Amino acid sequence: MAWYAHFIKEMKEKIEAIVTEALEAIGVEAGVVHIERPADSSHGDYSTNTALVYGKKTGVSPRELAGKLVEKILESADSRLGRGLNLEIEKIEVAGAGFINFFLTSSALESALEKGPSFLKSGEKVNIEFISTNPTGELHIGHGRSAFFGDALARVLALAGKDVTREFYINDSRESNQIRELGKTALGKGEQYKTPELEEKMRAIDFTGMDEETAGVKLAHAVQESNRKFIEKGLGAHFDVWFSEDKELRASGENGKMLERLKSQNLTYEKEGALWLKTSEYGDAEDPVLVRSNGVPTYLVADIAYHQNKFDRGFKTVIDVWGADHHGHVKRMQAVGRMLGWPKTQNDADQPVVFIAQLVSLKEDGVSKKMSKRAGNVILLRDLVEEFGIDVVRWFFSDRALNTQMTFDMAIAREQSEKNPVFYTQYAHARLASIAEKCKGLKEGKETNFADLIKIPSARALASKITEFPEVVAEISRDYNVHALAGYATSLAIEANAFYRDVRVADGGTFNSSALALAIRAKETIAETLSLLGISAPERM
């Protein structure tokens, strides 16, 4: 959807510029100036803590310094403000211990609400690999964190103008221990990974004449196909590439080529009959084994070859979302990146960019709970989705930072009230949709302009909150904090419900055109935010 990203970015930069100019005008060397959105819109549309940051450096109390900065900003009205900023900033005030708050004019807010150019297309090729579970069984609830984080991040980056490829890495190499063990189970020689669902798949396959590796690959493909259908249809997550380790790395010879490259560049050495990689020389804690003493390569060879393949395909940013048990592997892979000369990110960070999904637990009425109907002590993601619906599951998995443990509160998830944040947000959207629907059969009333409308505090707060949307998207595209989407959606719903309470859009047989336009814009913004989270925006509830 085309939005007003350019205006908002420009507005924020203008405020940064005038604060920096004011600092320099009073003889303070300006560094980074932070401009933020106040949590409470009554404190302005933008705010800065600059006076608190620089107060100690100047020997002046933050509040006194804030006053001096505001004086300098207002003195520049004939120059910077006079050239247009005075048409956009209505009021500047000092608050609290020394915050400086900026209030936009009604015309500036109205302009920001109008549709404008899309986010600029950067053309940066980004690869996001997530979920990538072993094809030995169904997805458990831990996989949900990776799934929903990766999917939402891909949506945000695409909206922000990146060229995004979503990728699923299939761990199906016949050389892996998991595939061999799966093959043993398929041939009746073992019990590893056995569940009723796996047994059902085994009954549908003729393993006659197969060795353990071939049987394992065959059964893994059946498991993977089942998981793929659930991911696409049950979770609503789309992948552009399903990358087979067995086909693309082992059978193609890429693993062997990478091994030879590492040897030829003198990055390996032999010890105790095994081949080791010199990652400790590039920042790793210790050197890992590449090839065991029995001649079998470790998974690290394929992992290195796989990431090199991504860079060879032209990706500038490579993002991995891994499970909690992979934490120790991050430093190693980034050491490999330095070793092989993989490019750094635009922020000069090592690649791959890795996110670790922490653990998930369930509780109800404060008590930990198990709810799996299929797999004993393993809680399946499918069970959770069937019990609560994909919208609720996606929200609850997305409103906490990925690197923190989360608890899925089943009692709140069942609520059909404002206690349940996804219900509350969707209800706000449905309310706004009902306003738009009701006004279809009415006549436009006496003209009420936008400036008059936003004299109502809740209307102004809603308008201001809507204009934050492109900033939220831009910020997430830089810091990858996807959980900020849920927080923004909730705060937007709060303002929308207050607007619904205070403003009569339709009165008698007529409607207020400015109020209707604001309601529609709020409805669209809630829908867009929910869409980025992969959550529906119902018109009726």
- Class of 421-532 in CATH: mainly alpha
Residue scoring higher pLDDT (320 or 25): 320
- Dihedral sign of CA atoms 402, 404, 409, 410 in order: positive
Cβ contacts of 104 within 8 Å, gap of 6 or more: 11, 45, 46, 88, 89, 90, 112, 464
Average pLDDT, stretch 395-404?
95
* Residue 117: pLDDT band with limits 50, 70, 90: very low
Q: Give, in order, the Cα–Cα distances in Å from 117 to each of 2, 123, 166, 378, 467.
A: 6, 16, 26, 48, 14
- Class of 5-113 in CATH: alpha beta
* Residue 88: pLDDT band with limits 50, 70, 90: confident
- Looking at residue 357, its pLDDT comes to 94
The overall average pLDDT reported for the chain is 91
pLDDT at residue 397 is higher than 60: yes
Average pLDDT, stretch 315-322?
97
pLDDT at residue 208 is higher than 80: yes
pLDDT in tens, 43-55: 999 999 999 999 8
What is the spatial distance between Cα 242 and Cα 233, in angstroms, rounded to a whole number? 16
Q: Which fold has domain 121-252+358-414?
A: Rossmann fold (3.40.50)
pLDDT in tens, 172-195: 988 888 999 999 999 999 999 998
- Looking at residue 78, its pLDDT comes to 55
CB atoms within 10 A of CB 417: 9
- Worst-scoring range by mean pLDDT, 6-10, 214-218, 377-381? 6-10
Domain layout of the chain by residue ranges = 5-113, 121-252+358-414, 421-532
* Residue 116: pLDDT band with limits 50, 70, 90: very low
pLDDT in tens, 339-366: 999 999 988 999 999 999 998 989 887 7
Angle between helices 421-439 and 513-532 (to 10 degrees): 140
* Residue 86: pLDDT band with limits 50, 70, 90: low
pLDDT in tens, 51-71: 999 987 788 899 999 999 999
